[in-house]
Structure 1
């Protein structure tokens, strides 16, 4: 088997062996939104400088995985200091692989992107020179999966700040937004995570919406889908409460006009009847329905021609008036 050597610490006491490089598929498979075309494959940035040794793993920019392994010489002291996972491997009672009887201990890894792993190892060892300052979203996501697994976020924090600077998140759900959801979660980027999370809470139609493949984001999606279900259920409860309120009240809140209440109640009952007959049914867990779709449907409930205006006079539509004072939306 062919081997690629990458010495981060030539005198290091650990050899990190990456088997089956670039086998991890972090690109999700999901539906298109609002007629958007299928998302790109999110290739890595080009391997430049000292990273050119990995170029043969990426012919034509693709993340290929030929029959080759990557051997990185690293320092156990740096790994132990930066990563709780490596600390457990090298100090714990279940020390991985070889005992201390051999001068160089070996640690095996599989499937990671070789370029991404090299960048993480370089950063852990303080070799920041030649680490690229601008990288693609795909490479950043591949780095994030490694950082998450080895629990070495703090060692990568400054690099992340440089990479994320000026990055603009998508404005609607897509594979790029899902990658950023994972990246911002791993690096504790609250602002970007809030933006990405809001997209999936508002526009996602259920936890099955995406096939995440090897992107470890399903747990976060489950949490966000729980919020989506809770909010849709809250909307349904608010409509229940509104309907009961109009049944019990003597008249509208403006002038206690029973005719006004009867008209609006009739529209609400009719619109809710239409909703209950949707396919699929609008019942928990509300799969197939986004919060955005439900709120938009409510915003389009008919506006009644009620018998009065907000001055107590017979209602006549004013061109400057945005909506009638007595509506379901109000």
Structure 2
């Protein structure tokens, strides 16, 4: 990507040598999708992040044709449009964009596909999608999702990368990948799911948090319901059996933080896995002839001692959301 210090308009990057517009990027490479509360050091910014801003020379016609945001700025009753009409050139200010993502975006809308990378990291892809989304160019760049997303190794655990991937799947309209990403997030997150400042629609985040909470609540209700059935004599074959199983389930719920509302502080996946590790109590009781000698006692066994039967099949993950539900 060309750099011309002697360009007549003072451009640092030149997309179109005869372009009439200078985009001045302020605060380039600002902290992006911060996972923790700490703010990235300014030292982590790239070398070309200067106080004066990065100047990029581009074509007004290409900007207007590609982006409704640029179209409004360059054809409406604004100073940028007036300057373009009267002086033949103008400046537009942008803020916080990653410079590499912005340049890739501008190359695409200027049809300079030979400069567009065939592969991008997930980080850069997410940054590019934020730029393209802001300028209203989802349709114009959608084709490249086939190149950048195919054969990508996607995150399998709840992490910052998973939220970046969730954003990418939404922006590029990838329903299968979106469903998988939301499933992992809702299954593995141990608290509120946050968009990290990404423009993921609020409806998606709200639905994910609601489904996560309701799924965990259903799991708790299953366990507490089984305890209640033992307490009220609906399960277990006699008093001792009910008492032993009730105590076992209660202790297991306590030891694994499965009581409400503490259960909300851990992931659905962890809680669901713990239902498979209930320790089966073992005790002996007299045989049918009521003889109480050591040789005439047997291990108690009844169907409800099988906790798989008592609790039933528990889904080990939360079903992902349908992208179509948010695009209608």
1:265 to 216, 225, 246: 246
1:11-31: CA deviation from partner (whole Å, max 9, x where unpaired): 444332222322x21253349
C-alpha distance in structure 1 between counterparts of 2:134 and 2:270, whole Å? 36
Match of residue 28 from structure 1 = 34
Listed as ranges, the gaps of 5+ residues in structure 1 are: 32-40, 42-58, 309-313, 318-322
Aligned-pair CA distance for 1:307: 8.7
Match of residue 269 from structure 2 = 292
C-alpha distance in structure 1 between counterparts of 2:263 and 2:88, whole Å? 57
2:299 is aligned with 1:327? no
Q: Structure 1 residues 324, 293: closer, same or farther in 2, change over 3 A?
A: closer
C-alpha distance in structure 2 between counterparts of 1:233 and 1:67, whole Å? 51
Listed as ranges, the gaps of 5+ residues in structure 2 are: 286-297, 314-328
Asked if the contact 1:16–1:108 (Cα under 8 Å) also holds between the matched residues in 2, the reply is: yes
C-alpha distance in structure 2 between counterparts of 1:272 and 1:13, whole Å? 68
Q: Structure 1 residues 98, 269: closer, same or farther in 2, change over 3 A?
A: same
Match of residue 178 from structure 1 = 163
Asked if the contact 1:243–1:265 (Cα under 8 Å) also holds between the matched residues in 2, the reply is: yes
Flag the structure with more relative contact order, 1 or 2, with Cα contacts below 8 A and sequence separation at least 6. 1
Specify the structure having the higher radius of gyration (Cα). 2
1:18 to 25, 29, 34: 25
State the superposition RMSD in angstroms.
Answer: 3.6
Asked if the contact 1:282–1:289 (Cα under 8 Å) also holds between the matched residues in 2, the reply is: no
- What is the number of equivalent residue pairs in this alignment? 280
Asked if the contact 1:181–1:196 (Cα under 8 Å) also holds between the matched residues in 2, the reply is: yes
Match of residue 38 from structure 1 = none
Task: Please give the secondary structure, in 1, of the residue aligned with 2:13.
Answer: strand
1:240 to 214, 224, 241: 224
Asked if the contact 1:19–1:110 (Cα under 8 Å) also holds between the matched residues in 2, the reply is: yes
More helix by share: 2
C-alpha distance in structure 2 between counterparts of 1:271 and 1:285, whole Å? 13
Q: Structure 1 residues 324, 175: closer, same or farther in 2, change over 3 A?
A: closer
C-alpha distance in structure 1 between counterparts of 2:155 and 2:24, whole Å? 36
1:127 to 109, 112, 118: 112
Match of residue 46 from structure 2 = 63
Aligned-pair CA distance for 1:171: 1.6
Q: Structure 1 residues 234, 88: closer, same or farther in 2, change over 3 A?
A: farther
Normalising by structure 2, what TM-score? 0.70
